Amino acid sequence: MKRLLLPGLLFLLICGPAWAQPCQVSGTIAGIGTKPIIFWYTQQGQRHADTVRATNDHFTYLAHPSDDNRISLFISAPRFTYFWYEPGKVLVTGTAAQPSQLAITGTPENNVLNQYNQTVAWKFTQLRKEQPTAEASMREQERQATLQFIKGHLAARTSAYLLYWELINQERYFADYERIFKQMTPAVQRSAQGQTLAAQLAQVRNQPLVGRPAPAFTLADTAGTPVALAAYRGRYVLLDFWGHWCSPCIKAMPQLKALAEQRAGQLAVIGIAAEDASHAALWKKAVRSHQVPGAQLSELQSDTGPVTRQYNIHAFPTYLLLDRAGIIRVRTNDLGDIERELLTAKDL
C-alpha cells in the first residue's frame, strides 16, 4: 500500500505499538530539495510505504506504528537508515549525500541509537574507507565496541536489536551473547526486539552443529515429488542451501558440479533453495540453465521455511556435509572445506 503525504521524510524506522501520543518527525536534509522521501513499515503483517516530499530541504511527517517497531527511511538506493517509533518529536538532520548517516534525535530510544551511530557505526564505516586492507581486524574491533555499547545500555531496545545482528553474524559467540541478553532489563526482554533475539538464541542453541545428527526433512523437488533426507542414509550427503537470486551461489555452481561428478556414486547432493512461491519458475529455470547437480528441493517460503529455520541458515550459500550415519561433519560457506574433508574421509 502506498500513500502520498505532505512534505516529509525518508528513513528506516523502528516502530512500536500504537501510542496515545503521536510520533511527529521533522527535520532538514541538506540537498534533498523536493525529492521524495519514503518510509517503510509493517502493520498486521502487511508492508506499507508513505511517500513525502521536502520543501527547501525541510520536511514533516506523522509516523505510523509498525508491527516490529521499525520504520525505514529511504532516499536513494541502496542506502537507508532507521530510527525508533516513539511518542514525541523526532528530529532528523543531515545531508542527502549521506542518507545512511542522518542524525535522528529527540526521544529517548532515538537518542541512544544516534549515540551508537556516532560513536561506533559511522566511525568504523569511515575507518574501513581509510584502511580497506584491515577488514578482518576492523570487524572484530567494531564487534567489541558494539558489545561495550550494549553493556552500557542494557535498558535500551536498541541494544537488543544490535545484539540480534551480532548473533546473526557471529553466532560462535553465542554463550557471551546469551549472557548479555539475560542482563537486559525485563522490559527490553519483553519488547519486540527482545523476543526476536530470544527466539534466535533458542534457535542457535538447538541448531544442527558439527557432530550432531542432521534433522530429518521431506521436501518437494522441481517436479513436486517428495524427497526425504532419510532415503540417503548410508551415503555421504552434501546439503546446499542456495537461491537463484544469490550471486555467490551461482558463481559456485561450476565447482559444485565438478565435485558432484568427481564423487559420483560416493556423494549425494541435495539443494534446498530459499525461494518464494512466486519465484518457483525462476528457481526451476536456474536449475536447468546452471545444470545444478543432485536433487533440487524448496520449501517455497523464502528463507523462513521450517527446514531453513531449523538448520539456522542465514548466509547463502551454506553447505553441510553429512556422513553415512547422517552426522554433520562440516558446516561452511566454502566448498573448499567440503573438498578437504572428503579427501580425508576413510569410509568413502
Q: Which residues pair with 92 in a beta bridge?
A: 27, 104
The mean pLDDT of 186-214, rounded to a whole number, is 92
CB hemisphere CA count around 80 (13 angstroms):
19
The pLDDT confidence band at residue 202, using thresholds 50, 70 and 90, is very high
Cell of 255: 565447482
Lowest mean pLDDT among 49-63, 127-141, 217-231, 273-287: 127-141
Q: Is 212 helix (H, G, I), strand (E, B) or coil?
A: coil
**Per-residue pLDDT tens digits for 41-70:** 999 989 999 999 999 999 999 999 998 888
Pairwise CA distance, residues 205 & 103, whole Å = 36
| Domains of the chain with bracketed CATH | 2-106 (2.60.40), 123-206 (no CATH), 218-344 (3.40.30.10)
Peptide bond into 317 cis (omega under 30): yes
Q: How many residues does the chain have?
A: 348
Pairwise pLDDT comparison (3 vs 313), residue with the higher score: 313
Whether the per-residue pLDDT at 12 is higher than 80: the answer is: no
Q: Read off the pLDDT of residues 142-182 as tens digits, 9 standing for 90 and up.
A: 999 999 999 999 999 999 999 999 998 888 899 999 999 99
H runs (alpha helix) in the chain: 108-116, 122-130, 135-151, 157-169, 174-183, 186-190, 192-206, 247-251, 253-262, 280-289, 306-310, 335-344
C-alpha cell at 228: 526425504
CA–CA separation, 341 and 347 (whole Å): 12
Q: What is the pLDDT of residue 4?
A: 37
pLDDT above 70 for 257: yes
**The C-alpha cell of 241 is what?**
542451501
Residue among 219, 208, 234 nearest 270 (CA): 219
This prediction's pTM: 0.74
